[in-house]
């Protein structure tokens, strides 16, 4: 299987993660013009599962190091499989809350608040269980990112007040999503071998871990998304028959969103062998910055904002960039 051989390559893979995790939300925005997020989400989880299989039978099956994808699945013990599966369940609960928040408050708010919280808490948890990198520099970077979250929330509050659209629902959903999202990566990490090239028996390697994670996402979706369809945060309740009314193009958009997200997840897990779980996760969650850029400059979610609000947005971007730079330096 493919395994990165240097820290610099691992950082590049984490940057790919950041770009993918920060950009998949655009597919929901595109589909959301005529398609409720609950219906979009069925296709999204299908895309996650399909890409896990594609990656397993390609990069996960080629090369001489480690175990092949199928062989790795066959030898995995029940604890490792369960941990990776549970990671998928927890992620799905958090992500569907994030998508709901995005539908209400937009990408430039839901991502910085929700994913920012997930980044800060997730880095701390992953470092406690698998310490790697300079802790002082690492947590200084986390502190800057937390500052960026607070600044973004202030900007949203100021802008909403000026538009007479003050609503805390989007912020509340984002915070709940962030707390849950900080937990999922640790379960996936605990299912994997410490050395991907010579993995210990019973443990998973990145490709099989992503596969069982994807199964957890898909199976849990029958519960979580069904609840959201019957008790929506906005609009009328939906039935499964509504899903069949979508066009081929709108279904494909949702699947593409899942594929894009799972490219990011897979690159992050693959990179963790060289970068460490805390840094790999933290850099990937720099997706917040990418999503905020999309929300501000492409979707115009802060259109008509006052000068103080624009100043806060600029400060948010600068704090995020500085925090991410410190995360990279901590690992080097």
**Which of 75-79, 150-154, 293-297, 311-315 is the most confident on average?**
75-79
Q: Average pLDDT in the 207-213 region?
A: 98
Q: Average pLDDT in the 207-227 region?
A: 97
pLDDT exceeds 60 at position 164: no
Residue-wise pLDDT for 34-69, tens only, equals 799 899 999 999 999 999 999 999 999 988 888 999
Residue 258: partners with Cβ closer than 8 Å, 6 or more residues away: 24, 43, 44, 45, 46, 47, 48, 49, 50, 51
Across the chain, what does the average pLDDT equal? 89
Model confidence band, residue 7 (pLDDT cutoffs 50, 70, 90):
very high
pLDDT exceeds 80 at position 301: no
Write down the pLDDT at residue 315: 93
Judge contact between 220 and 92, C-beta under 8 A.
yes
């Amino acid at each position: 299987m493919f395994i990165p051989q240097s820290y610099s390559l691992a950082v590049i893979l984490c940057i790919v993660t950041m770009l993918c995790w920060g950009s998949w939300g655009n597919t929901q925005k595109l589909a959301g013009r005529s398609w409720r997020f609950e219906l979009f989400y069925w296709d999204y989880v299908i895309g996650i599962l399909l890409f896990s299989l594609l990656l397993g039978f390609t990069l996960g099956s080629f090369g001489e190091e480690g175990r092949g994808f199928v062989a790795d699945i066959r030898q995995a013990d029940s604890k490792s499989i369960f941990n990776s599966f549970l990671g998928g369940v927890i992620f799905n609960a958090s992500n569907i809350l994030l998508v709901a928040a995005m539908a209400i408050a937009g990408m430039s708010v839901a991502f910085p608040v929700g994913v920012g919280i997930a980044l800060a808490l997730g880095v701390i948890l992953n470092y406690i269980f698998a310490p790697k990198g300079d802790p002082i520099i690492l947590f200084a970077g986390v502190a800057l990112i937390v500052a960026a979250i607070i600044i973004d929330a202030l900007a949203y509050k100021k802008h909403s007040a000026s538009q007479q659209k003050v609503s805390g629902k989007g912020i509340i959903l984002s915070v709940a999503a962030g707390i849950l999202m900080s937990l999922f990566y640790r379960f996936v990490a605990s299912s994997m071998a410490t050395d991907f090239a010579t993995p210990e028996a019973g443990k998973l390697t990145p490709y099989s871990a992503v596969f069982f994670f994807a199964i957890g996402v898909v199976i849990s979706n029958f519960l979580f998304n069904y609840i959201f369809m019957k008790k929506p945060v906005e609009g009328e309740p939906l039935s499964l028959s509504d899903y069949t009314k979508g066009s081929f193009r709108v279904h494909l958009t949702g699947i593409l969103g899942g594929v894009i997200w799972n490219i990011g997840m897979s690159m992050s897990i693959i990179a963790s062998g060289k970068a460490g779980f805390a840094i790999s996760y933290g850099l990937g969650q720099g997706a917040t910055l990418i999503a905020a850029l999309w929300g501000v400059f492409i979707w115009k979610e802060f259109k008509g904002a006052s000068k103080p609000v624009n100043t806060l947005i600029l400060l948010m971007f600068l704090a995020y960039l500085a925090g991410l730079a410190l995360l990279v330096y901590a690992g080097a």
